[in-house]
Amino acid sequence: MWLDDLSRVRLTSGSLDKLRREQHVVGVTTNPSIFAKALSDAEAYDAQLKDLAAQGVTVEEAVRLLTGYDVRWACDVMKPAYDASAGVDGRVSIEVDPRIAKDTAKTIAEARALWWTVDRPNLFIKIPATLEGLPAITAALAEGISVNVTLIFSLERYGQVIDAFMTGLEQALEAGRDISGLASVASFFVSRVDSEVDRRLDKSGTPEAAALRGKAAIANARLAYELYEQRIATPRWQALREAGAKVQRPLWASTSTKDPAYDDTMYVVDLVAPDTVNTMPESTLRATADHAKLRGDTIHGTYDQSRQVFADLAGLGIGYDDVVNVLEEEGVEKFAASWNEFLATIESNMAAVGKP
């Protein structure tokens, strides 16, 4: 279990360390929305904002320094989990500017800059899984940068992500790098799939449509895990494993339920299998600890049933490709909007603290 949240208050209060010690949290993910929310508590950032205002740095540079500070600190808090797992867990993610998600060269440059800025071995650089992001994923890994691939919705794109990951490791080996310290996760978004599919089902209004509500997201993630198993069984991966590579673990993201009619732990208990990560907000983490009915592996043995869900949806005129394409476009747009909000908040706060 990883925590999908980070703020200066969570760090200064010791809350993150307590979750690591007492609630089995072994990693942290962040995104533009999380940082925008964190900056709403301006007081926690006042001292650093005053320094940045005094230095006259640009808002863009202030973003890097503020977020880099928090992520570096979180990496240090998670270092015991990193050490205990031999570098598998204890990871903290920071995302490239989502506004450049469709610019390969800028994404690679930003990944390098963030890797250098935070300068911790347990860092992940988050790169969106757009078509333009795929070569950036390969390039970053080839240079020895560990990557969290984010905003994955479709099985086709996930297959491309796995290929980009393996290509990056192969290029790193060709360059003479030790790949045993490189790591990656593939963040497959869950709840947003149900939100989009359920919206379309509700328009239909039939009993057949109502019976399919809340089933698409889990089915999609389970089929992603099937694809993961298929790819790690290939000779290509076996050669990389023998060279010291770690698997690119599937990470279930967006695992808080958006519909109050659903069990608040469904995206946790129904997606349990070896080598997976589930990153969740604290509310879902607490709910899981309080009343989740964990029943072991809930993915194996479900693949045919999962495929049937999408066959039934297609029978109702809900096309898989259209759903996932809409979600990818919306995902990039939402993160870009959060980033712009984040920039505006920083600019306003710097102006406020910089006044005599």
125 close to 114: Cβ distance less than 8 angstroms:
yes
Q: Which of 251, 249, 248, 257 is nearest to 271 (CA)?
A: 251
CA–CA separation, 309 vs 88, rounded Å?
33
Q: Which of 139, 10, 119 is nearest to 72 (CA)?
A: 119
96 close to 125: Cβ distance less than 8 angstroms:
yes
Q: Is 126 a catalytic residue?
A: yes
CA–CA separation, 350 vs 58, rounded Å?
10
Q: Which of 182, 184, 181, 179 is nearest to 163 (CA)?
A: 184
- Number of other residues whose CB lies within 10 A of the CB of residue 185: 28
Q: Choose the catalytic residue: 18, 50, 102, 126.
A: 126
CA–CA separation, 179 vs 244, rounded Å?
6
Residues labelled catalytic: 126
